[in-house]
């Protein structure tokens, strides 16, 4: 039997569907009172208790003694969900009338009619009886039972026999299957309705209508089947069951079939095998359009054509599905796709349900930019809610997904969908598709592509130009395959490829120089990129080349004929304006005749003053005359000096002649007492005063200068001397007026002491003696208007100045120290403290006088040479502070000061001009805030920070820098070399002090900038290698005065004793090491060295890292605010003591609470008693923000800035004094200047900038940013 059907397998699989009829369900209204819902429980019909029948239903309910003629209706309240409940009609009940109305039963033995019972069955609606995997029939009609489907049937019945597992399958209608003999069929009559009977599959299939299959015995007898009407389709079960007749078995039992009418189609289900000799099984797919032509493919295979029946079912033959697998059938009809899936079973019915798939069409992308696009598509959900997304990526693997803006999509019409995507790469091709997902599955639209726009270079800029070249810079291109610069005559838009110094430009280049340009000509330039994200033309730049350079004329210097000596010129040829230096060498016994040194430009003789002149626009001849030195005339020479100069008059003289010396210390220096001497070739002789008598020998003058301790706020201190004599009017005593800053004696005091009847003393003296100031030239000058001078005791008692200018200090008891504040009345009740007058009466009655005056003179020096600046215009302004505004002072206006006769050099004028010693002086109003502006040709304008004056005079020294424009980079191969480069750039003359710190770590050096600025000294970094140490020693030997001072920051663990020994071996004896037990103790010792005045503000920085201390270093140096290091949550005892000793008026904390906690603020309040408004925290989000915050807070007014890396300490440390000298902030950078820094620098109108360190730490981009800000 199997061989019989094998050859027909594929034909049946493809064509069987055309033989199956369909039906239309007919739902009828039901009014029968004996109606039972099969979904509520089994329905059992048996003999009535006394008569008729009994119907048991639901959960145990029953209707009894119903007459057999009563029609019974069985319904299903949930026909869409099959129930496993059964209908069982017991035996020997006679003839019953039963109606099935939309009943859906699936399970073993759905409907059974017992022996000798006849059932007239009326069909209403669509009814299904499916025996599933059991042995039963769909509708069991055993031998002796009768079924008659009435002509009144308007509905349909689909009866499916059980698959029987490996045994015989049950009939659709008829006998059951069995392991042995198949069940026989009783009597079946069909008069109407639509009946589809499908035998169960098995080793031996059951008949569609007839007997059941028998595995090892006979096939069930076909019974007696009569068809009078209706539409009947009978299909034998797979395994040999007849359409109508016997079930399959080893032996066949026949039956009878009578057809009197109706439509009958009957066929058996053979064993079906495919071309691979694999058995196939019937699969019924529902949920499709009825009677529709369509194509299908299984598991993505070839496509075949077929049609559904009039019930929308498709019948396929498919092989059994592998274990744990699923088969999918894709069906397409009229453009709509369906998907059915399931596992094909060899033992049970295979009923798949098709679900509609969405239709998806990928459309053209729109709104394409360099980084985004809008993806478009069309979705038809075909009535099933559909989730819509777009897949996209640089290949057909996609990799990214974006949800559609309209999702889910419903309905059955085409719906436009889109998704806006961003974050794309420029000039890149992207693939994309639309995807719809509903309950049926997934539909992908076609793959489409778009290409994002390129992003041409937009920062193409010129950095320099000459008469024939132009240099450009730009950001490196990404992925470029070619780079050229194009040029065009300005405005012509006719572009050609420009020539560059490097030939072809590298694709990753960021700079290039165009050559071959014409002088004084306008050009347009642009960058053209091919390939990569920046493909295309950049912005254009217009450049006008410089005029052709004018070659300066060189003139010669000739020395005329000379007798008695020689002269050499350097240089011997030069352009106009060059300085020509002459070396004049008289022969032995000869000297240059005064007034004879001249140069002639071809027409006129011009006298030469000194030993140099400026080259005119002509060649010149130098002439001079020499004369003999008179007999017994000796010369006066000045030895090598550091820190000042000495001139002698005359410079040659006979023995016994008075030689007068002019001694000029450099700014901040003074003559060291006892060091002024002359040597006659054998012996040093001290010089008292400023003159000596010429001996009978030529002499050499020597002297030593030392630094005057320098402080921004000066005053107080000093000693006294005194003596006495007795006269008729009392005892005369003497004392001194002391410079409270230096301790130097300014002038003498003379007073008279008398005793009253109580044994107390009265001291009388002229008031003018107490207000005598030492001028910068060393002379003393009293104030002329004493009416404005007042004296007040510490107890507040005033002392009256009499009409003759005498003050009487009365009631002075023995054993007392009596102090009087000396003030000057500036008008409007405002007084300024000039100093203190002190009268000490010992226990034995000895009276001593001392007057300490505050030095009121500020000194202006050249930051590079240290020499005083003469003729600087200094203007005093009111500062823009809340205190000034509250007191009615108008910010940024010139201060109108009262004139003070005798107060040199300018009698308190505002503005005023610095004198030959670089000195200026203002007596200003107390409790007021000011700032200074100083200008001089050839120098950058200097603007001071805010200077707050309370009751005492404030001394303010400052430095000015010669004008420099543009960006300079101070760098070396290492941090040691960089520090040396900064020193060489800043200090052009011989220096008196150097500060040394280790190059290897930061802690000991962080506080050093303030000290170095005070000493006008460079900070040099000492490395650990011999080579690095040799570089520092070489610099010192070339630039440091042999008698100069060396300050070493830190102990021998950081700058070794061996290095100190090398310094001494090179002749430098004045060495001071400032080192403590740790970094906090060291910063304390450095602060001590500053000798700051009480009330000076202090700066606190975190001691465990360097950035914050470096950010404040230049400002603190210029203001002379000590930098003290603290821990995060506490202050070292040594630092506490230092703060307590200084008694600061304000404390600045640099950095946020992440580095210095609020605990430190609380400790400061306890140590100083300052309120919170005078404890100022300056901080940013990180070290770079903090450095900007410091710069913005103090806002130094210099028009330059200094940039250093924030990633190491060395460059910013070495450059801190340079920055302070230039009145500039240090801003820390990392990679580039942030937008916030750029905006701040724009507000400063920069004229210059300095970068500390090479391009490895502060890259070329920073230099370019600064150049753009300066415009150079």
Question: 1137 and 1227: one domain?
Answer: yes
Residue 8's pLDDT is 26
CA distances from residue 979 to 998, 1003, 1028 in whole angstroms, order as listed: 11, 17, 11
* CB 1015 within 8 Å of CB 993: yes
* CB 354 within 8 Å of CB 289: no
Residue 515's pLDDT is 93
pLDDT at 484 over 70: yes
| Residues 1150-1162: tens digit of each pLDDT | 888 888 998 988 8
* CB 1106 within 8 Å of CB 1006: yes
- Number of neighbours of residue 645 by Cβ within 10 angstroms: 15
Give residue 796's pLDDT band: very low, low, confident or very high (50, 70, 90): confident
Give residue 6's pLDDT band: very low, low, confident or very high (50, 70, 90): very low
Residues listed for the chain: 1272
- To which residue do tokens 């005063």 refer? 689
| CA 482/CA 172 separation, integer angstroms | 80
Residue 845, token pair as written in the block = 């009655």
pLDDT at 163 over 60: yes
Of 824, 853, 882, the one marking the end of a domain is: 853
Q: Which of 307-321, 941-955, 1251-1265 has the lowest mean pLDDT?
A: 941-955
Q: Which CATH number goes with the domain that contains 862?
A: 2.60.40.1120
Average per-residue pLDDT for the chain: 84
Average pLDDT in the 1000-1021 region? 80
Q: Which CATH number goes with the domain that contains 314?
A: 2.60.40
In a domain, 540, yes or no: yes
Give residue 29's pLDDT band: very low, low, confident or very high (50, 70, 90): very low
In a domain, 25, yes or no: no
| CA 352/CA 339 separation, integer angstroms | 10
Question: 1032 and 1151: one domain?
Answer: yes
| Residues 703-750: tens digit of each pLDDT | 888 877 543 333 332 222 334 444 445 788 887 777 666 666 767 788
Residues whose CB falls within 8 Å of the CB of residue 130, separated by 6 or more in sequence, listed in order: 82, 105, 106, 107, 110, 138, 158, 159, 160, 349
- Print burial letters for 96-120: b (CB count within 10 Å at least 16), e (below 16): bbbbbbbbbbbbebbbbbbeebbbb
Question: 846 and 873: one domain?
Answer: no
In a domain, 308, yes or no: yes
| CA 820/CA 838 separation, integer angstroms | 6
Q: Which of 161-170, 414-423, 1114-1123 has the lowest mean pLDDT?
A: 161-170
Residues whose CB falls within 8 Å of the CB of residue 758, separated by 6 or more in sequence, listed in order: none
Q: Degrees (nearest 5) of the Cα angle 412, 415, 416?
A: 170
Question: 947 and 1029: one domain?
Answer: no
pTM of full prediction above 0.85: no
Residue 567's pLDDT is 94
DSSP H/E element including 1136: helix 1133-1142
Residue 274, token pair as written in the block = 């495919």
In a domain, 121, yes or no: yes
From 1249, 1252, 1112, select the one nearest 1193 (Cα to Cα).
1112
- Print burial letters for 696-717: b (CB count within 10 Å at least 16), e (below 16): eeebbbbbbbbbbbbbbbbbeb
Question: 287 and 229: one domain?
Answer: no
| CA 903/CA 775 separation, integer angstroms | 9
From 526, 485, 492, 529, select the one nearest 507 (Cα to Cα).
529
Count of domains forming the chain: 9
Question: 447 and 417: one domain?
Answer: yes
In a domain, 806, yes or no: yes
Average pLDDT in the 1222-1230 region? 85
| Residues 216-228: tens digit of each pLDDT | 778 889 899 999 9
Helices (H), 1195-1242: 1210-1221, 1235-1242
Residue 271's pLDDT is 56
* CB 373 within 8 Å of CB 431: no
pLDDT at 629 over 80: no
| Residues 63-109: tens digit of each pLDDT | 999 999 999 999 999 998 999 999 999 999 999 999 999 999 999 89
| CA 66/CA 116 separation, integer angstroms | 19
Residue 775's pLDDT is 62
Share of the chain above pLDDT 70, in %: 91
In a domain, 276, yes or no: no
pLDDT at 363 over 50: yes
Give residue 1011's pLDDT band: very low, low, confident or very high (50, 70, 90): confident
* CB 213 within 8 Å of CB 220: yes
Average pLDDT in the 199-205 region? 83
In a domain, 22, yes or no: no
DSSP H/E element including 978: helix 975-986
* CB 1236 within 8 Å of CB 1262: no
Helix 1133-1142 vs helix 1158-1168: crossing angle, to nearest 10: 50
- Print burial letters for 1008-1037: b (CB count within 10 Å at least 16), e (below 16): bbbbbbbbbbbbbbbbeeeebbebbbebbe
Give the distance, in angstroms, between the CA of residue 620 and the centroid of all CA atoms in the same chain.
Answer: 64
Q: What is the DSSP letter of 424?
A: P
**Domain hosting residue 885, numbered range:** 857-960
Question: 181 and 238: one domain?
Answer: yes
Sign of the alpha-carbon torsion through 1188, 1194, 1195, 1201: negative
* CB 912 within 8 Å of CB 920: yes
* More confident call, 17 vs 1104: 1104
Residue 896, token pair as written in the block = 């109108």
| Residues 901-955: tens digit of each pLDDT | 767 777 888 888 888 888 888 888 878 888 888 888 888 888 887 888 876 777 7
Question: 1062 and 1121: one domain?
Answer: yes
* CB 1008 within 8 Å of CB 1086: yes
Question: 1146 and 1253: one domain?
Answer: yes
Average pLDDT in the 1126-1151 region? 88
From 77, 78, 127, select the one nearest 98 (Cα to Cα).
127
* CB 195 within 8 Å of CB 225: no
Measured in degrees and rounded to the nearest 5, phi and psi for residue 382 equal: 50, 40
Cis peptide before 571 (omega within 30 of 0): yes
Of 495, 515, 544, the one marking the end of a domain is: 544
In sequence order, what E strands does 910-1038 have?
Answer: 912-913, 919-921, 928-935, 942-943, 947-949, 958-960, 966-970, 991-998, 1019-1022
Question: 1146 and 1013: one domain?
Answer: yes
Sign of the alpha-carbon torsion through 958, 961, 963, 964: negative
* CB 90 within 8 Å of CB 45: yes
DSSP letters for 829-843 = TEEEEEEEEEEEE-T
Please report how many Cα atoms fall inside a 13 Å half-sphere around the Cα of residue 678, on the Cβ side.
25
Residues whose CB falls within 8 Å of the CB of residue 397, separated by 6 or more in sequence, listed in order: none
Give the distance, in angstroms, between the CA of residue 348 and the centroid of all CA atoms in the same chain.
Answer: 68
In a domain, 503, yes or no: yes
Q: What is the DSSP letter of 154?
A: -
Of 505, 525, 544, the one marking the end of a domain is: 544
Question: 239 and 385: one domain?
Answer: no
Question: 1132 and 1220: one domain?
Answer: yes
């Amino acid at each position: 039997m199997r061989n019989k059907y094998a050859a027909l397998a594929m034909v049946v699989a493809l064509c069987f569907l055309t033989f199956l009829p369909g039906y239309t369900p007919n739902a009828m209204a039901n009014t029968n009172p004996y109606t039972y819902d099969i979904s509520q429980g089994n329905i059992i019909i048996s003999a009535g208790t006394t008569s008729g029948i009994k119907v048991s239903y639901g959960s145990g309910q029953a209707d009894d003694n119903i007459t057999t003629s009563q029609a019974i209706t069985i319904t299903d309240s949930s026909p869409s969900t099959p129930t496993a409940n059964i209908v069982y009609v017991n035996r020997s009940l006679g003839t019953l009338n039963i109606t099935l109305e939309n009943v859906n039963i699936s399970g073993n033995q759905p409907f059974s009619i017992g022996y000798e019972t006849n059932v007239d069955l009326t069909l209403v609606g669509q009814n299904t009886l499916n025996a599933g995997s059991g042995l039963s029939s769909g509708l069991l009609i055993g031998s002796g039972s009768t079924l008659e489907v009435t002509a009144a049937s308007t509905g349909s019945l689909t009866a499916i026999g059980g698959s029987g597992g490996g045994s015989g399958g049950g009939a659709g209608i008829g006998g059951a299957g069995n392991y042995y003999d198949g069940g026989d069929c009783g009597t079946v009559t069909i008069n109407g309705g639509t009946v589809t009977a499908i035998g169960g599959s098995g080793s031996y299939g059951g008949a569609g209508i007839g007997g059941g299959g028998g595995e090892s015995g006979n096939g069930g007898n076909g019974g007696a089947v009569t068809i009078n009407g209706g539409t009947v389709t009978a299909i034998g079960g797979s395994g040999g069951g007849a359409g109508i007749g016997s079930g399959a078995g080893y032996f066949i039992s026949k039956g009878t079939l009578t057809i009197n009418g109706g439509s009958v189609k009957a066929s058996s289900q053979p064993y079906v095998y495919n071309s691979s000799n694999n058995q196939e099984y019937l699969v019924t797919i529902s949920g499709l359009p009825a009677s529709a032509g369509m194509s299908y493919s299984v598991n993505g295979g070839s496509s075949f054509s077929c049609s559904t029946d009039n019930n929308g079912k498709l019948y396929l033959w498919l092989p059994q599905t592998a274990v744990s697998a699923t088969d999918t059938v894709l069906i397409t009809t009229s453009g709509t796709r369906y998907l059915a899936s399931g596992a094909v079973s060899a033992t049970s019915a295979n009923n798949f349900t098709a679900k509609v798939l969405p239709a998806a069409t990928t459309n053209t992308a729109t709104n394409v930019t360099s980084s985004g696009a809008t993806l478009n598509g069309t979705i038809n959900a075909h009535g099933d809610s559909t989730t819509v997304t777009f897949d996209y990526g640089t290949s057909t693997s996609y990799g990214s997904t974006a949800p559609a803006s309209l999702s889910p999509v419903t309905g059955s019409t085409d719906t436009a969908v889109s998704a806006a995507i961003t974050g794309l790469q420029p000039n890149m091709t992207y693939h994309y598709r639309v995807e719809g997902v509903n309950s049926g599955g997934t539909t992908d639209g076609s793959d489409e592509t778009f290409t994002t726009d390129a992003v041409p270079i937009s920062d193409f800029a010129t950095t320099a130009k000459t008469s024939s070249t132009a240099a450009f810079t730009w950001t490196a291109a990404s992925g470029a395959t070619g780079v050229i610069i194009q040029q065009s005559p300005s405005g012509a838009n006719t572009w050609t490829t420009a020539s560059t110094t490097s030939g072809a430009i590298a694709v990753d280049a960021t700079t290039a120089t165009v050559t071959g340009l014409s002088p004084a000509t306008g050009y347009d330039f642009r960058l053209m990129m091919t390939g990569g994200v920046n493909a295309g033309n950049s912005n254009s730049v217009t450049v006008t080349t410089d005029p052709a350079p004018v070659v300066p004329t060189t003139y010669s210097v000739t020395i005329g004929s000379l007798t008695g000596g020689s002269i050499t010129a350097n240089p011997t040829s030069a352009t106009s304006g060059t300085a020509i230096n002459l070396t004049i060498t008289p022969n032995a016994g000869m000297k240059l005749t005064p007034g004879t040194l001249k140069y002639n430009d071809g027409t006129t003789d011009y006298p030469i003053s000194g030993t140099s002149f400026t080259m005119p626009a002509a060649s010149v001849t130098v002439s001079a005359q020499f004369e003999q030195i008179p007999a017994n005339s000796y010369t006066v020479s000045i030895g090598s000096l550091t820190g000042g100069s000495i001139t002698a008059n005359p410079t040659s003289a006979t023995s016994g002649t008075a030689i007068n010396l002019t001694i000029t210390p450099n700014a901040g220096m003074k003559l060291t007492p006892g060091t002024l001497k002359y040597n006659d070739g054998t012996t040093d002789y001290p010089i008292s005063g400023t003159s000596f008598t010429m001996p009978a020998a030529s002499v050499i003058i020597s002297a030593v200068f030392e630094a005057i301790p320098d402080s921004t706020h000066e005053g107080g201190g000093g000693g006294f001397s005194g003596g006495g004599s007795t006269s008729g009017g009392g005892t005369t005593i003497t004392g001194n007026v002391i410079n409270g800053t230096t301790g130097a004696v300014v002038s003498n005091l003379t007073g008279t002491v008398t005793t009253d009847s109580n044994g107390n003393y009265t001291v009388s003296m002229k008031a003018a003696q107490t207000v005598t100031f030492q001028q910068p030239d060393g002379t003393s000058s009293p104030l002329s208007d004493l009416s404005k001078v007042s004296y007040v005791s510490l107890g507040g008692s005033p002392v009256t100045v009499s009409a003759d200018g005498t003050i009487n200090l009365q009631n002075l008891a023995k054993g007392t120290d009596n102090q009087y504040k000396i003030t000057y009345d500036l008008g409007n009740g405002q007084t300024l403290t000039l100093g203190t007058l002190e009268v000490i009466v010992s226990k034995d009655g000895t009276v001593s006088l001392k007057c300490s005056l505050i030095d009121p003179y500020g000194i202006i020096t050249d930051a590079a040479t240290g020499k005083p600046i003469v003729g600087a215009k200094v203007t005093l302004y009111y500062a823009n502070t809340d205190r000034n505004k509250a007191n009615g002072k108008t910010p940024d206006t010139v201060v109108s000061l009262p004139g003070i006769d005798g107060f040199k050099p300018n009698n308190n004028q505002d503005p005023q001009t610095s004198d030959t010693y670089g000195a200026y002086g203002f007596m200003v109003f107390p409790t007021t805030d000011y700032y200074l502006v100083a200008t001089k040709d050839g120098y950058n304008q200097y603007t001071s920070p805010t200077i707050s004056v309370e009751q005492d005079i404030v001394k303010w020294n400052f430095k000015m820098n010669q004008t420099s424009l543009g960006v300079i980079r101070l760098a070396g191969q290492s941090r040691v070399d960089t520090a040396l480069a900064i020193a060489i750039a800043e200090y052009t003359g011989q220096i008196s002090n150097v500060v040394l710190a280790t190059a290897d770590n930061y802690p000991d050096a962080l506080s050093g900038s303030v000290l170095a600025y005070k000493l006008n000294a460079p900070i040099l970094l000492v490395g650990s290698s011999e080579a690095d140490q040799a570089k520092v020693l070489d610099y010192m030997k070339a630039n440091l005065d042999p008698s100069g001072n060396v300050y070493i920051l830190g102990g021998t663990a950081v700058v070794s004793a061996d290095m100190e020994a090398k310094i001494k071996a090179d002749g430098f004896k004045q060495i001071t090491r400032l080192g403590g037990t740790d970094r906090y103790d060291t910063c304390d010792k450095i602060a001590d060295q500053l000798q700051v005045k009480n009330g000076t503000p202090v700066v606190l920085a975190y001691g465990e890292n360097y950035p914050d201390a470096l950010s404040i270093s230049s400002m603190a140096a210029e203001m002379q605010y000590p930098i003290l290091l603290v821990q995060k949550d506490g202050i070292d005892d040594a630092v506490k003591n230092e703060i307590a000793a200084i008694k600061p008026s304000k404390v600045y904390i640099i950095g946020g609470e992440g580095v210095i906690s609020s605990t430190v603020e609380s400790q400061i309040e306890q140590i100083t008693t300052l309120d919170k408004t005078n404890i100022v925290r300056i901080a940013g989000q990180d070290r770079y923000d903090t450095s900007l915050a410091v710069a913005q807070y103090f806002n130094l007014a210099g028009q330059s800035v200094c940039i250093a890396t924030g990633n190491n300490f060395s460059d910013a440390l070495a450059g801190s004094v340079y920055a302070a000298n230039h009145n500039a902030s240090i801003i820390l950078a990392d990679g580039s200047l942030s937008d916030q820094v750029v905006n701040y620098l724009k507000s400063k109108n920069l004229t210059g900038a300095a970068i500390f360190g090479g391009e490895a730490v502060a890259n070329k981009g920073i230099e370019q940013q600064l150049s753009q800000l300066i415009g150079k």
